[in-house]
A and B are shown apart, each in its own frame.
Chain A
């Protein structure tokens, strides 16, 4: 049945069972199928271990090996290693054949630095530099080279290198300025000049004169050291991270220590981690001299410089570095800075500007001192101006010509308000008429007596029919006629307001007895409450925004869900200015209305 249904399978299986496989892919038969799965590593069977295998010699005979028996091959087949008798050392480890773990020592993990420290601390022995072969990790050199390296160690330092080192050069650093070398190596195109060495490179800014002054050690011709114009605000000799020219001061050490070995190699072989630096407190046994702190800025020489030069200390270097930044007198003499004379304040100086020669300005200045607000000033100033000059004076001052013709008959009626007319006595009326006459070329006829029409005040706005209409409507509203409204007639807000105020003033003047608690009550709700005028007067309505959650709990839809809350008008500066403007205009209007004469003033206003 198997043959019938799975021919391929059976083929394989039969094939598998007949022919033993000895090819690479490890196969095993599990059941009737061949799999590449290896259930067990056969190579690790006990029998496969070298010392468990049966030893046979070249002829195939079983051999036992021992010290004197077994023959030459005994060790080999039990894998002493090789035919030669020793096992070539080779580190092979694969997944199938794992090598034993090597025993590791701490010295294997130390680098040269650590080894040096450990040596100093007395922990290990290392070879001295001359005899040490550099075992760098990851070394990719050939093993042959490596083997011979240690045998032939040559003093790598040539005399030239030593000299450079004394001058501050380090392994790996370029000799000479990089910019200089770049400048030198720059290709020259056309007829442009080749860049000069030590001259035009960026950052190289020395002149021959300054080169002569610098000491030999810092000869600019080597390009190592340049004097740079000091354009920053750092201290003298400051060079930041430039360790050659300004090496960090070390306490109590006379010999130069290569940069980088900040870890004190004295006693800190133990207890110092890779990321830790030796602190000041670690070096308890170091001695420090005060001389270490002496830095002479003396250029030429003298005692201090000689001492410094004799002792190869760091103060020397710093001093010379500072000397390199020698100050030079400028070629052009600078102009001394402009001197300003001392300003003497006169003793009577008050800071207040006094107007001179202008009467009006003087008035203004005087009044400004007295009156704090512009509104009051305007009222007062206008009043004063009116007081000072009479109509005739002003007319004279302005150089007015007399108008032709007789004075119009309604002069007095229109220009003087009703109250004023009544107040003025007969005699004064005539005087007034006389003065008015002077403004006209022809004297008027005898003016009619003032029409004491009691209802004339109702018609006082006859010129302006719209205003008259508004006034009449207003009177009707005040009388209590229902369904009447004062029409707006395209008035602006404040104009309308002003008119209403005017009308109410007229009305109140006429009906004085109504000026009772009604008006008082309208002043504030508190007053209204005191006067027992309850209801609308004591209540004020304003919007408030309840919280969304509050509305939810009350089961009420949020009244200000989508629209923002209508906020009260803020007292911003623009609003205040607007209000001030309106107040001034109102003040001027009121003052204008007081003066009833030939209104020259209205024109100037």
Chain B
């Protein structure tokens, strides 16, 4: 059936079935995912129901009763599927891979854990190589490597299978990275740092220093998006900057005061979703800079809380500092649904690329909850 979502649920307190490896070799190697259960080929309920009094009639003449209309499944996640436990401390980055099979998470305990998204198993834990909290993760398209950026000012490239660090990039002045983004080719990496700079690396060369640093912002850069050929950055000085590489022009869009927590680009690339730290999420038109919609109802005045478009573009998803995750209708602007993650602010909200599954994580409890 359409949109058969899987909920990953785990109860708080226990660490699941894997023991937590703090240092040392991994406890579990990569396992192929379990075979899916065979779907029933045509349920009785789906086949056309025949009414009473069909005996003696030809096959075509049998009366047909329309099946009962099923209750439409909601398009947003409602139920908790799993709770993934394995981290100690806050979690700052949660990412699904491109296919949606795996989930990578990292946070304050400097440990990166690879989870199986479908059944919630801990697949692999990566050794601790960072000396600061891991703040950002980026998974490559082919899943063979991923990047992790930590507050010690270093970005490590890991080999997913081997679990080793293959490359290290240095952030100038060891600034704290707030956001990582790369283009589709994975050749340009942009990192927005706490000191208001955007550093750009060329990943194809072996240089660990950035090829360019953009210093126009006067506040910390909270979010960077590389949308070829534009680099978009939102900063705490209340302005979003669009660096167009093709024309060589920088357009600064001022938001009149509140710091910008995150910027996302819609799938049709015409809209920006900007969450500002004045409890508002705004949708901005890319061409004119006009504000098309604004969404309220959540709390966001302190932390960098991401807000996302849903996969079909009908919903806006955002975390909140009161521990909820809110869903708004894009067009109407009304708050449709909320799910409660915990008591603390929800710092990580990631959408599954295919299904209506989200993963949420926040500080202090170190639990990732997967909802369907």
Contact = CB atoms under 8 A, between A and B. Distances in A.
Given A529-B257, A530-B257, A553-B187, A535 B290 contact: yes
A540 B251 contact: yes
A526 B238 contact: yes
Interface string B221-257: 0000000110000000011000101111111111111
Contacts of B247: 559
B256 A528 contact: yes
Nearest to B288: A535
A526 B257 contact: yes
Contact of A549 (B202, B216, B251, B252): B202
Contacts of A534: 288-291
Contacts of B229: 554-556
Contacts of B249: 541-544
Contacts of B200: 547, 550
Contacts of A529: 254-257
A560 interface: yes
Interface SS majority for chain B? loop
A540 to B, nearest CB: 5
Interface in B255-308: 255-257, 288-291
Contact of A532 (B211, B238, B239, B291): B291
Contacts, number: 99
A547 B288 contact: no
A547 B211 contact: yes
B189 to A, nearest CB: 10
A432 to B, nearest CB: 51
A556 B214 CA distance: 18
B254 A544 contact: no
B188 interface: yes
A531 B291 CA distance: 12
Contacts of A549: 202, 205, 211-212
A546 B243 contact: yes
B36 to A, nearest CB: 39
B290 A554 contact: no
A210 B239 CA distance: 91
Interface residues of B, number: 34
Given A535-B290, A556-B229, A544 B188 contact: no
B54 to A, nearest CB: 66
B185 A553 contact: yes
A538 B188 contact: no
Nearest to B190: A550
B183 interface: yes
A534 B291 CA distance: 7
B249 to A, nearest CB: 6
Interface string B104-131: 0000000000000000000000000000
A525 interface: yes
A81 interface: no
A537 to B, nearest CB: 9
A545 B253 contact: no
B204 interface: yes
A408 to B, nearest CB: 55
Contacts of A535: 288-290
B224 to A, nearest CB: 14
A575 to B, nearest CB: 22
A544 B214 contact: yes
Contacts of B252: 525, 539-542
B222 to A, nearest CB: 17
B256 A553 contact: no
Given A525-B254, A534-B290, A535-B288, A550 B211 contact: yes
A546 B200 CA distance: 10
Contact of B256 (A527, A542, A543): A527
Contacts of A527: 256
Contacts of A543: 248-250
Nearest to A566: B248
Nearest to A557: B246
Report which residue of B228, B252, B254 has the largest number of chain A beta carbons within 10 angstroms of its beta carbon: B254
A546 B239 CA distance: 20
Contacts of A540: 251-252, 254
Nearest to B250: A544
B253 A539 contact: yes
Interface string B18-52: 00000000000000000000000000000000000
Contacts of B202: 549-550, 553
A553 B188 contact: yes
A151 B312 CA distance: 122
B246 A550 contact: no
A551 interface: yes
A524 B239 CA distance: 13
A525 B255 CA distance: 8
A430 to B, nearest CB: 55
A557 to B, nearest CB: 8
A551 B289 contact: no
Contacts of A557: 246
Contacts of A530: 256-257
A205 B288 CA distance: 95
A288 B324 CA distance: 94
6 contacts: A525-B252, A530-B256, A538-B256, A544-B248, A553-B185, A559-B245
Interface of A: 524-532, 534-536, 538-547, 549-551, 553-557, 559-560
The 3 lowest CB-CB distance pairs between A and B, nearest first, are A529-B256, A559-B248, A525-B254
Given A542-B252, A543-B248, A555-B229, 11 more contacts: A525-B239, A528-B254, A528-B256, A539-B254, A541-B251, A542-B250, A544-B250, A546-B243, A550-B211, A553-B204, A554-B229
